[in-house]
């Protein structure tokens, strides 16, 4: 029986496990939604290609970002900003939206698996056997 049924208070370890499971589930759910959106996006584009006979170019991710926050995101295109951010923005200008959704979904899925990992830690070795060799 669990400690809730016996009327005992929950321990911090159990609260940590519940928080980890909840966070892992939220990450997994976000990953599934992003991957489904990318598959639907690419599927719609494929159906359009079958109907029209030409492949329409997807807008890059930065087109969506500038649509969400047009004035607040001007710092991203500043050439004097941090070098890593400038490289990321340059990458996002070239990546189609469907591929970006899939990459982010896969990354969130991997992160969800690593958060929900319940394997025990390896025991630390304190004594060394001399006669083992």
Reply yes or no on whether the pLDDT at 3 is more than 50. Answer: no
Percentage of the chain modeled with pLDDT above 90: 4
Mean of pLDDT values over 81-91: 67
The C-alpha atoms of residue 51 and residue 25 are separated, in whole angstroms, by: 38
Reply yes or no on whether the pLDDT at 93 is more than 50. Answer: yes
Reply yes or no on whether the pLDDT at 127 is more than 80. Answer: no
Model confidence band, residue 52 (pLDDT cutoffs 50, 70, 90)? confident
Exposure letters 11-31 (e unless 16+ CB within 10 A, then b):
eeeeeeeeeeeeebeebbebb
Model confidence band, residue 34 (pLDDT cutoffs 50, 70, 90)? confident
Mean of pLDDT values over 69-86: 62
Mean of pLDDT values over 89-94: 74
DSSP code of residue 116? S
With 0.85 as the threshold, say if the pTM is over it.
Answer: no
97 or 89: which leads in pLDDT? 97
Element (DSSP H or E) covering residue 112: helix 97-115
């Amino acid at each position: 029986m669990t400690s809730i049924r016996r009327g005992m208070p929950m321990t911090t370890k159990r609260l940590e496990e519940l928080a980890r499971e909840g966070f892992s589930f939220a990450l997994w759910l976000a990953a599934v939604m992003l991957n489904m959106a990318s598959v639907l996006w690419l599927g719609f584009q494929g159906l359009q290609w079958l109907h029209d006979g030409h492949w329409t170019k997807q807008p890059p991710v930065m087109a969506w970002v500038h649509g969400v926050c047009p004035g607040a995101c001007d710092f991203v295109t500043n050439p004097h900003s941090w070098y890593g951010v400038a490289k990321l923005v340059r990458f996002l200008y070239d990546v189609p939206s469907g591929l970006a959704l899939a990459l982010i979904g896969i990354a969130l899925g991997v992160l969800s698996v690593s958060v929900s990992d319940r394997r025990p830690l390896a025991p630390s070795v304190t004594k060394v056997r001399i006669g083992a060799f």
